[in-house]
Amino acid sequence: MNQEINHEHRHEEGEGDRACLSRRRFLLFGVAGATLVALDSVPGLTRLAQAMVASYPSQKVGSLSALKAGEPLEFAYPYPDVHNVLVKLGAPAGGGVGPAKDIVAFNQMCTHMGGPLVGTYKGNHQVMGPCPLHLTTFDLTRHGMVVSGHATESLPQIVLEVKGDDIHATGVMGLVFGYADNTGGHA
Ligand code: FES
């Protein structure tokens, strides 16, 4: 278990190098505290993604019967200021839930420099973007992988579970921009 959990927020640290060090430390030591999930669409990413999944209390974020393809729903998780989108892609996706494995959720802050991705979902290609700052686009069928642009890290994916008709968020795969780690609470 990571004994160096800290709840520093990158903005509050005010020093990029300290934030980078914390981020690196999380990547190195966060594995033991992680929840392992099946990533069946991108085998090459499996080990890395497993090392970056953190569990949080389950929270209902939508329902199978109400969610329509092409009509994303926004929700906050695991903290009130972390804004995500729940979307039915209409095509099977890595980490997808529901009968067609096409329901996914992602954070809406670009992993490059935190650009806002709200409203940039493109249902015809199942991508998020381009980011308004430097044009990164993320593939939502492949765990938020970067398709093009300046970002180098995938968009954080919200881990989902289906319980009856309810869709629950249970964890976060990857680091939300601005956070030094995602294994603990909010600073
Ligand atoms: S902040 Fe999104 S590409 Fe730079």
Q: Is residue 123 part of a domain?
A: yes
Print the domain residue range for 159.
56-173
Residue 1 has pLDDT above 80, yes or no: no
Q: Is residue 183 part of a domain?
A: no
168 assigned to active site? no
Q: Is residue 1 part of a domain?
A: no
Q: What is the pTM of this model?
A: 0.75
Q: What is the 3-state secondary structure (H, E, C) of 44-112?
A: HHHHHHHCCEEEEEEEEEEECCCCCECCCEEEECCCCCCEEEEEECCCCCCCCECCCCCEEEEECECCC
**Cβ(30)–Cβ(55) below 8 Å:** no
CATH code at position 122: 2.102.10.10
**Cβ(89)–Cβ(141) below 8 Å:** yes
Q: Is residue 9 part of a domain?
A: no
Which comes out higher in pLDDT, residue 33 or 75? 75
Q: Is residue 43 part of a domain?
A: no
Catalytic position from the list 7, 11, 134, 186: 134
Pocket-testing residue among 112, 153, 177, ligand 1, by greatest number of atoms within 8 A of Cβ: 112
pLDDT digits (tens, 9 = 90+) for 103-129: 999 999 999 999 999 999 999 999 999
Q: Is residue 70 part of a domain?
A: yes
Residue 63 Cα to ligand 1 midpoint, Å, equals 31
Q: Is residue 3 part of a domain?
A: no
Q: State the average pLDDT over residues 133-160.
A: 97
Instruction: State the amino acid at position 58 in one-letter form.
Output: S
Q: Is residue 79 part of a domain?
A: yes
Domain count for the chain: 1
125 assigned to active site? no
